[in-house]
Amino acid sequence: MARSKSAYEIDDIDRKILRLLREDAHLTTQEIADKVGLSQTPCWSRIKRLEDQGVIAGYVALLNPERIGKPMSVIIEINLDMHDDEKIENFSRHLAQLPEVTDAYLTTGEYDYVIMAAVEDTEDYEQFLRKRLLKFPGIRHAKSTFCLRRLKRDPSPSV
């Protein structure tokens, strides 16, 4: 039996569309259609389908960290004392809810968590670390690494 195109398959034209929208969501469907070699109608249907299927999760404005008073990025590697499920889930929820935290991952290897925080300056960072992050019970160790320069930050992986 020949394999028919599944509803969830992404073809080369879809990928081209995603590549464009990943960089600039303000392109019109007509502009995208021109760039990918389609007419407006099927191009619009494809974008709609990619949204409905959750391939496109949403659209956001990108803010300039310097201009909104959060020029400093810090990477924090964290170890917990205990590793029972409840502890992990609680701390994970705690992290996700802190506004300074922009990224948080549960990881393999030397540390349990790797997170990133955006703050105003070193003083702001100290406050965050002592009064908000380390207030959570059961943190064995936290290692901070300061970012000197951001070379790249893509909101989505390349397609």
Give the interface with DNA as residue ranges (CB under 7 A).
Answer: 13, 28-30, 37-46, 48
Task: Find the helix or strand (DSSP H, E) in which 93 lies.
Answer: helix 85-97
Q: What's the residue count for the chain?
A: 159
Determine contact, residues 106/112, Cβ cutoff 8 Å. yes
62 binds its own copies (CB under 8 A): yes
CB 20 within 8 A of CB 27: yes
The CA distance from 122 to 66, in Å, is 14
- Tell me the CA end-to-end span of the chain in Å, nearest whole number: 29
**C-beta of 130: minimal distance to its own copies in Å?**
19
User: Which of DNA, its own copies, none has residue 102 at its interface (CB below 5 to 8 Å by kind)?
Assistant: its own copies
Interface pick for its own copies out of 2, 7, 37, 67 (rule CB under 8 A): 67
Q: Among residues 6, 60, 86, 131, which is the contact residue for its own copies, using CB under 8 A? A: 60
Minimum separation from the CB atom of position 8 to DNA (A): 15
Q: From the CB of 103, what's the least distance to DNA, in Å? A: 29
CA 87 from centre of chain = 24
Smallest distance, DNA to C-beta of residue 28, A: 3
Stretch that binds its own copies, among 35-43, 78-86, 112-120, 132-140 (CB under 8 A): 112-120
- Near its own copies in 68-87, by CB under 8 A: 68, 70, 73, 75
Instruction: Name which of residues 119 to 138 contact its own copies (CB under 8 A).
Output: none
Cα 43–Cα 44–Cα 45 angle in degrees, nearest 5: 90
Distance CA 65, CA 120 (A): 9
